[in-house]
A and B are shown apart, each in its own frame.
Chain A
Amino acid sequence: MTQTENKVIELLKAQDDTVDYASEQHLIDDRILDSFGVISLVADLEDAFGVQVDTAQMIPENFNSAAAIARMVEDLEG
């Protein structure tokens, strides 16, 4: 588990701490994160990592798991 991933899980837990984010692979498909959840997470990510998430990144594959979110952030950090 990368450092980014840990940080992402921390942000996710701030929204809803009843989920095991480390293993969950279907955050979007199972609607654990709804569209409002996604947008507030995006705001959190931008604040925490200083990245800018674009509309182009707004696809389910980027948000389905903590690992995927971390990967997207790392890509954005370049």
Chain B
Amino acid sequence: MKTGFWKKQWVRILAFFLILLLLLAGMSSVTMRAAADQSSRPYLKRDAVEMEVRKEAADSLDVLVLGDSEAYRSFSPLQLWNERGITSFTIGLSGAKMTELLHLLDVAAETQKPRVVLLETDALYRIQGSAAGMQEIFLERWSSWFPVFQYHNLWKQVFDGAQPVTAGQWKGFHMAAGVKAADAGSYMAESREKRPVSSANRLLLGKIKDKCATMGADLVLYSAPSTVNYDSSRHNAIAELAQQMGIAYLDLNQEAEAIGINWQTDTSDAGDHLNVSGAQRVTQRLGGFLQQYSIADKRKNAAYASWNSLGAQYRDKADRVIQKIRNKADAGSSPDKTDGSVSKPDKADRSGEKSSENIRERGRR
């Protein structure tokens, strides 16, 4: 099989790949520059949230919330601001993988020095198997070397045009107004089963923890209430993992009743995600938890005036929507017949991510 012919080929092969690397680097710098101008495109969802975080004033955030759609549908930074004067940002990405969360944390760390990082745990169960995990880690590295892989979808703006930002409007929170009741049953019925987190995701959780330590932040895990994504076997596994790694863990599924989650009204898609009414209760609970860090109230601080005005806007809108959702339930109409009269969520919030979210979420069930 060894032929002299191949020996003559090696220079050529080397040249071919050298030129390929140069082209990749060139394309990457072009796309990177284009991406910086185009942060507001929704199909750059991950990149949009990344760019939004970069836009926040340096050293201005006390709390970061990381996670997938469970995070950005359950935690509202502006509510926390209105209640306690704590600044926060929800860095959420639908179907986020742990590698992506680590990357987003790295990005945030460039400009922010938060006290607390709250990590929603749903992403711990994405990407199973060690080979798949290794591949994810490798790909993440690869696309940070050559951003053309990360930003390759930029061409789509030629056809899709500019669309409004959704990621940064409410500091990363997605306000969903729809109601579709969940059959919660006894989804958290106790059991001894454990559904272990894959080794790759454990490794990545460790890296996130280390990163938080170097930033001087406390890492806290929380599970947002979701009848679709959680049960006791996940709770047991995450609780054990958190204990082993010395990380605090709040499972709001166990507390769902205590914090007042009403599965008839508080979810927009039959228990998968919370709507703004559910998020209000979760944010209140997490705010209570954050009290122990005695973070200074900045509402009177002139440097944060923009937070006050945005907070007021948020209050107006959220209060109205929440009231509608809850009144409707009180009026006794059947809430699971969906939301004819309840105001619809932002259009971009529904259509843009509908498909990818559906498919991703499906894989988890």
Do chains A and B directly touch (beta carbons under 8 Å) in the complex? Answer: no
Q: What residues of chain B have their CB less than 8 Å away from a CB belonging to chain A?
A: none
Q: What residues of chain A have their CB less than 8 Å away from a CB belonging to chain B?
A: none
